[in-house]
A and B are shown apart, each in its own frame.
Chain A
Amino acid sequence: MSGYRLASGGLIDRSRPLSFTFDGKRYQGFAGDSLASALLANGVELYGRSFKYHRPRGLFSAGVEEPNALVTLRSGARSEPNCKAPVVELFEGLEARSQNRWPSLGLDVMAVNGLAGPLLSAGFYYKTFMGPTRKAWMLYEHFIRKAAGMGAGTLLADPDRYEDMNAFADVLIAGAGPAGLMAALAAAGSGARVILADEQAEMGGSLLGSGLPVGEVGGEVGGDAWCRSALAVLAALPNVTLLPRTTVYGYYDDNAFGAVERVADHLAAPPEGAPRQRHWTIRAQRLVIAAGAIERPLVFADNDRPGVMLADAARVYIERYGVAPGRRVALFANHDGAYRTLHALAAADVPVVAVIDPRRSIGTAARAAAEAAGAELLTGHVVTRALGGRRLTGIELAAYDPDAGVKGPAARTLAVDCLAVSGGWTPTIHLASQASGPARWDDTLAAFLPGEPAQPWIAAGACNGEMATAACLAAGARAGAEAARACGFSPSPVSIPAVTEQLVCDGILPLWDARLPKGGGKAFVDLQHDVTASDVSLAHREGFRSVEHLKRYTTLGMATDQGKTSNMAGLALMAHERGLTIPEVGTTRFRPPYTPVSLGALAGQARGAHFRPLRRTPLHDWHVAEGADMMEVGLWQRPRVYRREGESVEQAYIREARQVRESVGIVDVSTLGKIDVQGPDAAEFLNRVYSNGFLKLPEGKARYGLMLREDGFLWDDGTTWRLGEHRFLMTTTTANAAPVLAQLEFLLAAVWPELKVAVTSVTEQWAAMAVSGPRTRDVLAAVLDDIDMTNAAFPFMGVRAGHLDGIPVIVARLSFSGELAYEVYCGAHSGEAVWRKILAAGRDHDIVAYGLEALGTLRIEKGHVAGPELDGRTTAEDLGLAAMTSRKKDYIGSAMLDREGLTEPKRLKLVGFVSRDGQPVRSGSHLVSADDSESPPRSLGHVTSSTYSPALEKYIALGLLEDGRERIGQELIASYPLKGHRVEVEVVSSHFFDPEGSRMHV
């Protein structure tokens, strides 16, 4: 196709030249050009190589349906693959590169795939490389992926910003062609809130650049001018939002819509402060679908030669962009509408060699158009083959009989450099299809139309089979008014302009296959995925006959264009193979998105630090100021260790833990879930929720409790404090804070509504710190104003309210570390003050702040369970906590506690391990027998938590082991084959340190 810029015409601004590069070569276009129109104007013929066969490909369409001219835009971090050249707006300095070619577009060594064509048919990869084992595929996959493919994305971080927007409207209109514009005028006049979205930069759809006379007879203006005045009216209305460059891509429940606005895709980089794209979530009472239609190609041999182009695209390049698509053009079409392109070609003085039409008779206006263009009219003929290699040089014709089909041999050869093809129009039913019953078949258009609405939408215009511009305008006006009425508005009638239009998609003769019988060459159905007509036959022969199987076996319609130009021909060919009609074969349902949506737009602002919420404890700033290594625990940031200069993490936690055992330490436990439980039935409620008794818990006392799931497994643990007769403070593990609250709310609503109890999360209201170690009492006694800290007055598990240097606190004598220990709770805002006062009071006792690592070390030394042991697969009995599952009452989980599987004696049981060879034991290691007779050895269990124990001066671990308690004293191997790690361990009791608990009762 040797395109060139016409001397005049088009909507481009010839006073604003823009320079750009394609594969490094510099070209010039004008403002208003698309990348495709600018390349076409420069005579560029070759745009890319095809997906599988690496065949040379040219420009095929003028819209989002483009299967061939895919390019990579920009470079570096803004590099973006698979951009469709016809919808890329030209900007100064635009950089584009062709794809899927090596070493260059002109010389592509992978084109040998084309010679091996017969081997690369549908299912080729499955048959050849999968083989009986996965091994073959593993070997070949790398090379196949390299040879077959699209553009490559960048691995650099996206430098641009993306926004989210929520919008509400009465009427959303998708598409601003003649139907959409009229719908907007009709709906907006009633006062309804209207959003009009269109994927193009300029609204107007098929009217853009069109000289079609629109308006009162005698006062007609060009279609383009009419659409500008309509847009001016809409832009002035306060209840109308115009969203150009915005694709409504998805239809979701309750009339929610996803749309992407390409705010700055048409610029080299977004202006300061502007996002690259904006994602809109729109809720509208009614959707008017005015999405138009997409022209479909025809199937004949080598129909992918650069120079074969959709007929209406050829017209658009002339009328909208002022570019001729070739110097010797032929038209191959099966309906009158395509003859409109002849008017445009004639007006641009482009020679039209011939018009080839399979029909015997055609409309008068069509015949007149062919004559006016000076073209030879060959009715009853088809193009059977395109000639040429990297460019179209000619076409072969044969006679055609509607009943008998193509009659060989080829009758004639014509020299052309551009073939405009049209096989009819496929209504864009994608959005409707996402919210409707099965699509309806329409014989007069030989196309599917929207099915029965399952949600409140109204289709208008070409997407609903109304192909004439006049019909689109009338349908739009009707749909807009109906939508507004449905939202409670009273639209007044709008005048519908008359249109003088003679050539519409009338009198179509369905033509799905124009190949010569037994003719060679590849006849493509899906240009982007390189699926040919013979692939469809092959799928049929091999039994992949349903449309769903056809699609997946041949990958028909599964490329980035989702089969916008190819689906119909594929269905028709399969219907022919099966001897059925197309509606009998049916079509696949369209899913969102209509066109590809960038991940950036979907992610919006939720990236980097904003990916998910960050939770900081009231003491966060202190930890950071002290140089703590902070780590993520769920959403929380928690201090891991407070390393001193030159210390490793291990050295730091060992020092911290040792200091707690020797003197005193303080740790931030604010992340624990805290739930305020109040009401006259609070004790009864807790007694039903926990597996151990809570009815008799006295005021001023805390109790450690276990929560089970209904299926009898252990779920959560924590202490609950009785603050008053009807008031408790429950603590949960950090991870389960939210699920436990939700479960308590559920029980109070759905299971025991008779209980008078209220539960409220107070996790963030309290700062919490645990002070542990033999000197703790001295430290706290020095700062607490009014709490008697003596062992007699404040016994183990006691809870006291009082003041710490004037600040209200609750102190509970609990110990996770096994030392004399207290938890101090205060209002979140006083957290840091209380923390600092305790540190100050502890200075003489060499108090140490310790982090999560030391917290873990201390609890592992004591054999206390935590998250790694409460893994959802363990029971209280497994963890040695059977005494806490009451046999005297009913509670959540009690009914299923004695199931066979849960009482099975072989279950994995919690035990301790001591490393025998001075090596650390890795968590996640499997425990295997020390004798190596079995290979691979059977796993007897696994290590859950491990640490270096400063108290024992050994590496120790907790784990779950088959027959665990019976194996105490045995030697096993803790094996971690992925890291080649093997440690000899001895099975011991999980209570490594101070098993009598004497230290915490002093």
Chain B
Amino acid sequence: MLIPCPHCGPRDVSEFTYGGDATKERPDPGSTSAAEWCDYVFARENPRGPHLEYWHHTQGCRLWLKVRRNTATHTIESAEVVGPWAGAEERRRDKGQDVA
């Protein structure tokens, strides 16, 4: 399986570490019930088909990615950088400059 890392280009899955369901957002600890926490920490769907998931480019740029992958076919629809570096590659391409 190839994951199209926005920073490094298509790379073999062996360079990445799976990071779990990316539809889960960490709730605010101050205002969240025990049940909601339980859902965030333990409950996971196991969908057949499209799935949004985290992948860490551990052996590459070390960016965390959100990857939309079909669990039945392993087709990857999209992969985007998560966090402060999201969109940095596009910005660099658009402006023709180094954003770092």
Contacts and interface: CB of A to CB of B under 8 A. Distances in A.
Interface of A: 252-254, 256, 454, 710-711, 742, 745-746, 748-751, 753, 890, 894-896, 899
Given A253-B74, A254-B2, A742-B56, A749 B64 contact: yes
A686 to B, nearest CB: 16
Contact of A749 (B12, B13, B17, B82): B82
A711 B37 CA distance: 9
Instruction: Tell me the dominant secondary structure on chain B's binding face.
Output: mixed
Contact of A454 (B13, B54, B64, B73): B73
Contacts of A899: 34
B37 A749 contact: no
Contacts of A256: 12
B64 A746 contact: yes
A746 B19 contact: yes
Contacts of A753: 82-84
Nearest to A738: B58
Interface of B: 1-2, 12-13, 17, 19, 22, 26-27, 29-30, 32, 34, 37-38, 40-42, 54, 56, 58, 62-64, 73-74, 81-85
Contacts of B54: 746, 750
Contacts of A254: 1-2, 74
A750 B58 CA distance: 15
B37 A895 contact: yes
Contacts of B38: 896
Contacts of B17: 742
Nearest to A757: B84
A895 B29 contact: yes
B12 to A, nearest CB: 8
Contact of A896 (B37, B74, B82, B84): B37
B63 to A, nearest CB: 7
Contacts of B27: 895
Nearest to A753: B83
Given A742-B58, A890-B30, A899-B34, A750 B82 contact: yes
Top 3 A-B pairs, shortest CB-CB distance: A749-B83, A890-B29, A253-B1
Given A750-B54, A894-B29, A896-B41, A745 B84 contact: no
Contacts of A711: 41-42
A753 B84 CA distance: 6
Contacts of B64: 745-746, 749-750
Nearest to A898: B34
Given A742-B56, A750-B64, 15 more contacts: A253-B2, A254-B2, A710-B41, A711-B41, A711-B42, A745-B62, A745-B64, A749-B64, A749-B82, A749-B83, A749-B85, A753-B82, A895-B32, A895-B37, A896-B38
Listed residue (A710, A748, A750) with the most chain B CB atoms within 10 angstroms of its CB = A750
A701 to B, nearest CB: 27
24 contacts: A252-B1, A254-B2, A454-B73, A710-B26, A710-B40, A711-B41, A742-B17, A746-B19, A748-B83, A749-B63, A749-B82, A749-B84, A749-B85, A750-B22, A750-B54, A750-B82, A750-B83, A753-B84, A890-B30, A894-B29, A895-B32, A895-B37, A896-B38, A899-B34
B10 to A, nearest CB: 8
B26 A751 contact: yes
A710 B37 CA distance: 9
Contacts of B83: 748-750, 753
Nearest to B56: A742
Listed residue (A254, A742, A894) with the most chain B CB atoms within 10 angstroms of its CB = A254
Nearest to B81: A749
B84 to A, nearest CB: 5
Contacts of A896: 34, 37-38, 41
Nearest to B85: A749
Contacts of B12: 256
Contacts of B63: 749
B27 to A, nearest CB: 8
Contacts of A745: 56, 62, 64
A746 B32 contact: no
A965 B58 CA distance: 43
A745 B65 CA distance: 11
Nearest to A454: B73
Contacts of B32: 895
B21 to A, nearest CB: 11
Nearest to A710: B41
Listed residue (A253, A750, A751, A895) with the most chain B CB atoms within 10 angstroms of its CB = A895
A423 B10 CA distance: 47
